[in-house]
Structure 1
Amino acid sequence: MLSAEAQQALQECLHEVVLSKNQFLVTEGKICRQLYFLQQGALRGSYNLEGKTVTHWFAFEDDFVTSFHSFITQEPAVENIQLLEDSILWSISKDNLSRLMKQYHEIETFVRTAYEKYYIRLEERFVNAQFKTATERYQELLQQRPHIIERVPLGFIASYLGISQETLSRIRSRY
């Protein structure tokens, strides 16, 4: 946990962001200069690929979200981040976060832990896509993140699993 001093310094740099369902937090082609903490709501990260939108992650309460590549490199984002529900987020700029990480080792450790969690989720997605069947990916989703089924439209879930909506319907009919 953060010391009272570090918490105070962090709170002074946070800004509340309230957005409505279907709005975009990040759009491809623009540099993402903010890291967000999702207090309430749901989001999805997606890419446009040959005219199709491909969902590659979801975020829910207590998740950190950003276009990590764009945020870290300060290059234009290649993804879009869209709200699936009305949401409340807290943002901090890259400049303020960098300053706080230099000033407070505990904030640096906290941010590193968030980055590590993101990397682990990314690696799990890669392994699942390469080595598991559609049915196995769906079963794992049900076991590890069942709330997604309740809060996310099936078309986005199918895209996330790398299958058609029809295939998802067939798989779901077995459960």
Structure 2
Amino acid sequence: MIKKYLQSFHVLTDDEIENFIQLSTKRNLNKSDYFIRETETCQEVAFVQTGTFRSYYISDKGEETTYCITFPNNLMTAYSSFITGQSTEENIQAITSAELLIIPKNKIDGLALKNPNWLKFMKIVAEQQYVELENRIFKLQKKSATQRYIDLLKHQPEYVQNIPLQYLASYLGITQRHLSRIRKEISF
């Protein structure tokens, strides 16, 4: 899976990809385990082989807001903490049991120092993160909750059923009651 994912960027050679895989380690997480918690500093990137994660923050009122859901075959990290070396304000928690491939920041930095292809790859990933963030903001501001839910069903139908209602509602920016009404109205 990771090999196919890295090949899809059309930047890295097979040897470079194999080197990356050699530098990574496997980590299994149970449902509700954390990849990272608020106040920690993120020093690694994970490739999600199996499982689903939610990224959330806690408001000053103590309310959890899920702002990102990560599905299999994607990279995952507390990105701003990873870049800045400062503590994170987010929590990344497994919604289901999960298997990750982990690579530490110092090894990624080492790859980038030795090979310009890794710099190109990292640039592409950063650009994709920005585009995803922008798309998320536009969806929240321009699309109805029903449209956002339908989009999620179209792109991740097999995983949506595994996400607890409260996390899914928070991600969509609506109440659980509103999401229940939307689900009843939509028949796929």
Question: Which TM-score applies when normalising by structure 1?
Answer: 0.92
Q: Give, in whole Å, the separation in 2 of the partners of 1:68 and 1:47.
A: 14
Please give the residue correspondences for 1:1-175 in structure 2 after superposition, counting only pairs within 5 Å: 1=7, 2-49=12-59, 50-175=61-186
Structure 2 stretches of 5 or more lacking a match?
A: 1-6
CA RMSD of aligned residues (A): 1.5
Q: Kindly provide the amino acid, as one letter, of the partner of residue 158 in structure 1.
A: A
Please give the per-residue CA displacement for 1:113-148, whole angstroms capped at 9, x wherever unaligned.
222222222111111112222222222222333234
Q: Give, in whole Å, the separation in 1 of the partners of 2:149 and 2:92.
A: 23
Quick check: 136-145 or 78-87, which moved more? 136-145
Q: Give, in whole Å, the separation in 2 of the partners of 1:143 and 1:77.
A: 31
Deviation at 1:68, TM superposition (A): 0.4
Q: Give, in whole Å, the separation in 2 of the partners of 1:76 and 1:51.
A: 19
Over 3 Å counting, the alpha-carbon distance change for 1:172 and 1:8 in structure 2 is closer
Deviation at 1:55, TM superposition (A): 0.5
Please give the per-residue CA displacement for 1:29-55, whole angstroms capped at 9, x wherever unaligned.
010010111111111100111211111
Deviation at 1:112, TM superposition (A): 2.5
Q: Kindly provide the amino acid, as one letter, of the partner of residue 12 in structure 1.
A: Q
Runs of 4+ in 1 over 4 A off after TM superposition: none
Q: Give, in whole Å, the separation in 1 of the partners of 2:103 and 2:174.
A: 35
Equivalent pairs counted in the alignment come to 175
Quick check: 159-168 or 1-10, which moved more? 1-10
8 Å contact 1:38–1:63 — kept in the other structure? Answer: yes
Calculate percent identity across the aligned residue pairs: 31
In structure 1, the residue corresponding to 2:32 is in which secondary structure? coil
